[in-house]
Amino acid sequence: MNQVVILAGGHGKRMKAAIPKPMLQVLDVPMLGWVIRACEGAGLSRICVVTGYKAQYVELYLGNRYRTALQAEQLGTGHAVMQAEKFMQEFTDGNTLVLCGDAPFMDSETIANALKLHEAQENAVTVITATLEQPTGYGRILRSETGIAAIVEEKDATDAQREIHEVNSGAYWFKTKALLELLGNLSQSNAQGEYYLTDTVGLALERGWKASAYRSENPDVILGANTRKDLLHLNKVAQERVLEKHMENGVNFVNTDGIIIGNDVEIGAETTILPGTILRGKTKIGAKCTIGPNCLIENCSIGDHVTLNYVQAFESEIEDAVKAGPFVHIRPNSHLKNGVKIGDFVEVKNSTVGEQTAIAHLTYVGDSDVGKKVNFGCGTVTVNYDGLKKQRCVIGDNCFIGCNTNLVAPVRVGDGAYTAAGSTITEDVPPEALGIARARQVTKEGWAGPKLAAYIAKKQKLEAAARGREGEK
């Protein structure tokens, strides 16, 4: 059986982060999540994550999906792999892949192709490498006629060795039995007093075992993050990849300023994404839409020909030809059906809104089931919370909800019914009826005159006093 050990115990002191470095995000996904996804894409599901600094954050993220092993003391990469020995000993007949949890661009193709080479050559260890134009800071790969001769860290390299552009990614395929033996022979006899996983190559060669290197066609497998600047670079690289993918699929970007699109987002052809738009999670957007400017969409399904302008939407479904914005908030579990129109300063929560319904402006629709072709007047509120629990409003087809109507749930408005402006509806309104629930107007003649006169007199007195004080100066 083939298995994976991912090293995710790093502190990342230069990051000044309160969480482990592998949990820092690239496009809203922890770097560790990127690495795990690459493993799963290569068909590797038996995974052990070696934790360390603030391990609880990693364990919370993983849940019960994968095994963990704690590196309580940080004594090098070899020492980190040692913590997973119990995990590896359960299946020793296959191969073990060792990966860095803070190298998010390791890809499934590289992992799979490196394994093919590893098995074909019957190597004890196969180092995954890449060629960089600027290899400064990375360990250089010294090759032999039969494979790899050594990995030389830059500080130990000669001038000639520093001219080598093939570098170590920090990822390795091992025969599991070989790895277990090599780990037992690692030494701390170095300046740092640590166990280096890179030393396994030399130890394997000393035993007459085969060691080789697989050069990835993706140079980004090397990239990691030790500083916030590095992390920003990773995000830029990831974002450029995502944008290129969508443009190849026919998505239009007039300007990419402020646009952030997650790796799992799907967008249909001829859709335009405008500046300031953030698309996250499992969001799926159809064809010929206009999204933006300044939209935040997370885990939503959006149909074709949709226009969203200054909209925040979360975990909801928006069907074809919906128009929403500006300043619209679509909260979780909402469903806007075909042709719905939502105007400025409207909030929809946990509600279904039927076809061609119009909610023009300044309205809250929460915990409601709204029919088709309903017209909401300005300032309508579905009063869905009684202080203890949520209740639902049901509004039928072809209704007219007058301005400043309060619908106090639970309440039903039948098909074709109206509510009068300014009403507080607490009882069901039958189909095609008019619901009126407001006090009769009372007019008191001359009531305001004395109050106005008193106000004016007081104001004049205060102004006179202020002028007197100014004259004394």
Q: Tokens at residue 408, please? A: 């106090």
Domains 3-222 and 251-435 share a fold: no
Mean pLDDT of 228-242: 95
- pLDDT tens for each residue of 340-355: 999 999 999 999 999 9
This prediction has a pTM of 0.85
Q: Could you say which DSSP state residue 362 is in?
A: S
- What number of other Cβ atoms are within 10 A of residue 26's Cβ? 24
pLDDT confidence band for 261 (50 / 70 / 90):
very high
pLDDT at 469: 80
Mean pLDDT of the chain: 94
Mean pLDDT of 184-190: 85
Separation CA 295–CA 349 (nearest Å): 17
Give the active site residues: 361
Are 135 and 200 in contact by the 8 Å Cβ rule? The answer is: no
Q: Tokens at residue 52, please? A: 């360390």
pLDDT at 44: 97
Domain locations in the chain?
3-222, 251-435
Mean pLDDT of 172-176: 98
Which region holds residue 43: left if phi is over 0, alpha if psi is between -120 and 50, else beta?
Answer: left
Strands 47-51 and 67-70: parallel
Q: Distance from CA of residue 141 to its chain's centroid?
A: 36
- Whether 473 shows a pLDDT value over 70: the answer reads no
How does DSSP assign 166-232, residue by residue? Answer: EEEEEEEEEEHHHHHHHHTT----STT----TTHHHHHHHHTT--EEEEE-S-GGGG---SSHHHHH
Tell me which fold the domain 3-222 belongs to: Spore Coat Polysaccharide Biosynthesis Protein SpsA; Chain A (3.90.550)
The CA-CA-CA angle for residues 248, 251, 255, to 5°, reads 110
Separation CA 412–CA 416 (nearest Å): 12
CA distances from 396 to 102, 113, 351 (A): 54, 59, 13
Instruction: Name the 3-class secondary structure at 286.
Output: coil
Q: Distance from CA of residue 196 to its chain's centroid?
A: 34
Q: Tokens at residue 212, please? A: 């080789």
Q: Tokens at residue 429, please? A: 């309104």
314 has which bridge partners?
A: 298
Separation CA 398–CA 390 (nearest Å): 25
CATH architecture under which domain 251-435 falls: 3 Solenoid (2.160)
- Whether 155 shows a pLDDT value over 90: the answer reads no
Are 336 and 351 in contact by the 8 Å Cβ rule? The answer is: no
- Whether 189 shows a pLDDT value over 80: the answer reads no
pLDDT at 466: 84
How does DSSP assign 17-42, residue by residue? Answer: -SS-GGGSEETTEEHHHHHHHHHHHT
Mean pLDDT of 156-180: 94
- pLDDT tens for each residue of 3-58: 999 999 988 888 988 999 999 999 999 999 999 999 999 999 999 999 999 999 99
- pLDDT tens for each residue of 78-88: 999 999 999 99
- pLDDT tens for each residue of 265-316: 999 999 999 999 999 999 999 999 999 999 999 999 999 999 999 999 999 9
